[in-house]
């Protein structure tokens, strides 16, 4: 086993693979045990899958919590049991005339900000110790509590197309959102707001953790790089795992405190009082030293969440 690899991989997940499948395949290619992904993608969804290798797996929680960007397509006119193109049709509401761009855009704008979203039945959310998709597969629909998510951007990226024969309207979109957002549910909720049944007919994740789809590497290409002893061309620094966190540069004195796990007091470290986020990434000489978090009980105190310096 190769336990000397440490860093982040920007993997392009192809359709038909689960995120677990990708990690299992990479474990074999890289011959390493410590490996994990930073945010699940449904099998039919393609795009950026951040993967942590070696010591970087300690940062997976920050990768999973980071915001993501998706691009896809919404089809208005029928809905499916899975809210995407893979499920059986459960409702039809024929669209008999073109929906105007203005009407669509105004409806999309109402979803931007902090909103409540009910997870779909076909999801891995657990209720009473059982995953929702397990209930769904046995024909059960149960009540699910709404969860707060944040939509940073939700915009139409193509002109709507009216298909008179199928009685549907479809258009492309882009959404930037927080952890826990079900984009297919967003598509369904938008369709309902417009007065129709609808579903997410296509989706691709284009960005996560500062990783962009144009730089993502396929498993086939990575396997070739490994065979050619050129993995370093694709292994990114661990710092990519904390792209979404505020970055603070430490002084020499603060660095010495951080590496031994000491707390910071806002009265001695004034920049902290201006932070609105509950965590920050502490850097020294452009290297990640630690992740700090607000103390749960002591006002004005920040404590180490993880110390990475070795």
Tokens for 39, please give them.
């945010």
Q: Are 76 and 244 a contacting pair, CB within 8 Å?
A: no
| 66-90 residues labelled b (16+ CB within 10 A) or e (exposed) | bbbbbbbbbbbbbbbbbbbeebeee
Rounded to an integer, what distance in angstroms lies between the CA atom of residue 257 and that of residue 254?
5
Q: Per the residue annotation, which of 42, 84, 189, 244 is the catalytic one? A: 42
Is residue 105 annotated as part of the catalytic site, yes or no?
A: no
- What lies within 8 Å, CB to CB, of 10 at 6+ separation is 48, 50, 51, 211, 212, 215, 216, 217, 234, 236
DSSP string, 185-247: HHHHHHHHHTTS-EEEEEEEEEEETTEEGGG-B-HHHHHHHHHTT-GGGT-B-GGGGGTTS-E
Neighbours of 203 (CB within 10 A): 23
| Look-up of token digits 């299992």 | 24
* Contact predicate 11/22, CB 8 Å: yes
What 258-261 contacts at long range (C-beta under 8 Å, 24+ apart), as own/partner pairs, is: 258/282, 258/284, 258/289, 258/290, 258/292, 258/304, 258/307, 258/309, 259/289, 259/290, 259/307, 259/309, 261/290, 261/304, 261/307
Cα 284 off chain centre by: 27
Residues marked as catalytic? 42
């Amino acid at each position: 086993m190769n336990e000397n690899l440490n860093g982040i991989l920007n993997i392009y997940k192809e359709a038909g693979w689960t995120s677990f499948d990708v990690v299992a395949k990479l474990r074999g290619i890289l011959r390493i045990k410590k490996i994990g992904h930073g945010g699940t993608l449904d099998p039919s969804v393609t795009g950026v899958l951040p993967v942590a290798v070696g010591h970087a797996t300690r940062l997976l929680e920050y990768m999973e919590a980071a915001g993501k960007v998706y691009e896809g397509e919404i089809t208005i006119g029928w809905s499916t049991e899975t809210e995407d193109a893979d499920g059986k049709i459960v409702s039809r509401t024929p669209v008999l005339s073109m929906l105007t761009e203005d009407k669509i855009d105004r409806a999309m704008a109402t979803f931007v900000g902090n909103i409540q979203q009910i997870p779909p039945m076909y999801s891995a959310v657990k209720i009473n110790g059982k995953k929702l998709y397990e209930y769904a597969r046995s024909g059960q629909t149960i009540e699910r509590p709404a969860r707060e998510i944040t939509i940073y951007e939700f915009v139409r990226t193509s002109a709507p197309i009216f298909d008179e024969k199928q009685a549907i309207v479809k258009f492309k979109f882009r959404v930037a959102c927080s952890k826990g957002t079900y984009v297919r549910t967003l598509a369904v909720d938008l369709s309902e707001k417009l007065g129709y049944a609808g579903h997410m007919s296509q989706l691709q994740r284009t960005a996560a953790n500062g990783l962009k789809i144009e730089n993502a590497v396929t498993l086939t290409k990575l396997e070739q790089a490994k065979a050619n002893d050129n993995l370093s061309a694709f292994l990114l620094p661990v710092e990519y795992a904390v792209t979404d966190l505020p970055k603070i540069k430490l002084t020499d004195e603060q660095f010495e405190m951080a590496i031994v796990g000491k707390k910071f007091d806002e009265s001695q470290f004034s920049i902290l009082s201006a932070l609105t986020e509950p965590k920050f990434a502490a850097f020294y000489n452009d290297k990640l030293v630690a992740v700090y978090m607000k103390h749960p009980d002591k006002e004005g105190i920040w404590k180490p969440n993880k110390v990475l310096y070795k």
